[in-house]
Structure 1
Amino acid sequence: MRPVLVLTHAAHEGPGLIAPALDAPVRVRTVVSSDSPVLPALDEVSGIVVMGGAMDADDDRFPGLDAEKRLLAEAVAADVPVLGVCLGMQLLALALGGELHRRHGTEIGFAPVDVVADDPVHGRLGPQPTVLHWHHDAVSLPPEATLLASTTVTPVQAFRAGSALAVQYHPELEPRMLDLWLATPEMVDGLSDDEIGSIRSDGAKYLPDLAPAARAMVAGFAEQVRARG
């Protein structure tokens, strides 16, 4: 089976529970700062996963993002399964003709999203899952994409565009990964001790139910990956 390409943008924002739930070989690459990144051809991969990061999706200080967006547009056109998470969702939206809205509204912490349309993969999270948010930017819905989930602050929380599923929130989180984030200065910059404590306690409350649902969602994506082979 061809590997799944996982694009990361920060050492602490890896694939988390996504990688083992794929049940497939994984090839992790970080090209965000490269002027001339070398990425595999689409016929070399069975799917693409794009993770989060602190930079803006249109930040020209990180030239590798343009290469990622080109690859994502080509992948959707070629019907290659794609999963975009947080920054990965924003990159996918831009690649497909959506717009980025910088500092649209801050959502950090555990809170529910409203699921507004059926999807065979995203729907495995349930009708109103409580998920971890960690973002300031938002995107518009790309042309011909289907809105899957929303919140008042961030109207586009998840969408489907052909072979691609994109989520603004973080389904990859496991307890150890949350502990890492809460110990990473870049992640908690601007948060008070009380806010950090609240996220930690909410993680203990919500992750036991969220993680199995997230694994089920990734398993649905993995079925699409295996079908490509």
Structure 2
Amino acid sequence: MSWWVITHVDIEGPALIGTVMIERGIEHSVASMSGGDPLPTAEDISGLIVMGGPMNAWGDLAHPHVRAERELIAECLRREIPVLGVCLGAQLLAASQGCAVYPGPVAELGSGEVGATAAGVSLLGDAAEPVVHWHTDTFDLPAGAELLASSNLYRNQAFRFGSGLGLQFHVELTPAEQSMLEAHMPAGTAPDAEFLARVAEEGRKIIGKFFDESL
């Protein structure tokens, strides 16, 4: 068995998450939903990473694969297999438990920060965390989930539920992704390379802690 990374659009790969996995010798495979790859089964997974994308976590009609992803995530959680959901991945993690996913108050885009709750300090630290925001949807938390971080605009920014960790924000982006962000984010919202370097520095700590707890 190996770890699996699910991607939804070509531009949003694992980035720093993939780098950390390679550095730690974590074997992993990628299932590209935009490329039509089949999903693995829970029996084949020792850990699961679910990346971002523009679709809704309940958008089964336009994107039939999201239903299968919700079911896969739910089965992984039942088996206590580690799951990390980023952006859409966090929304799918919540949706796998039947939670609503819906438009937030405004689009949250670009350079920003989140603050840890008391439960989230061990993961995020007690200072404001630099992150990249790139979302318009938010979600309800599963019953029994721990809220780990919030921003001024979106309360549910990070949460832990069983063996799952959901991050609505991005900490896997590095200066290497700056040109991609410039090309695909709304004009004027893409972070600059200096800010992305700060995000990557802190993101490496968060991603590392996730793997420390999962391996």
Q: TM over 0.5, yes or no? A: yes
Residue aligning to 1:218: 207
Per-residue CA deviations over 1:49-98 (Å, capped at 9, x if unaligned) read 00000111111200011100000011111110010000000111110132
Q: Distance in 1 between matches of 2:135 and 2:120?
A: 24
Q: Distance in 1 between matches of 2:66 and 2:14?
A: 18
Comparing 156-165 and 19-28, the one that deviates more = 19-28
Q: What residue identity is the alignment partner of 1:111?
A: G
Preserved contact between residue 47 and residue 81 of structure 1 (Cα < 8 Å): yes
Alignment TM-score, normalising by the size of structure 2: 0.90
Comparing 161-170 and 97-106, the one that deviates more = 97-106
Q: CA deviation at 1:218?
A: 1.3
Alignment TM-score, normalising by the size of structure 1: 0.84
Q: CA deviation at 1:103?
A: 4.6
How well do the aligned residues superpose, as a CA RMSD in angstroms? 2.0
Residue aligning to 2:112: 111
Seen in structure 2, the aligned counterparts of structure 1 residues 96 and 120 have a Cα distance that, compared at 3 Å, is farther
Q: Distance in 2 between matches of 1:49 and 1:89?
A: 10
Preserved contact between residue 87 and residue 168 of structure 1 (Cα < 8 Å): yes
Q: CA deviation at 1:102?
A: 2.3
Seen in structure 2, the aligned counterparts of structure 1 residues 63 and 168 have a Cα distance that, compared at 3 Å, is same
Preserved contact between residue 132 and residue 170 of structure 2 (Cα < 8 Å): yes
Q: Distance in 1 between matches of 2:191 and 2:146?
A: 33
Per-residue CA deviations over 1:107-159 (Å, capped at 9, x if unaligned) read 001111121133487335x5320210001111111111111111232110000
Q: Distance in 2 between matches of 1:38 and 1:54?
A: 20
Residue aligning to 2:81: 80
Paired residues, number: 211
Query: Are 1:28 and 2:30 matched, yes or no?
Result: yes
Query: Are 1:54 and 2:59 matched, yes or no?
Result: no
Percent of residue pairs bearing the same amino acid type: 34
Residue aligning to 1:144: 144
Preserved contact between residue 33 and residue 64 of structure 1 (Cα < 8 Å): no
Query: Are 1:6 and 2:9 matched, yes or no?
Result: no
Preserved contact between residue 8 and residue 28 of structure 1 (Cα < 8 Å): yes
Q: What residue identity is the alignment partner of 2:205?
A: A
- Of Structure 1 and Structure 2, the greater strand share is in 2
Structure 1 unpaired stretches of 5+: none
Q: Distance in 2 between matches of 1:121 and 1:44?
A: 30
Q: Which runs of 4+ in 1 moved over 4 A?
A: none
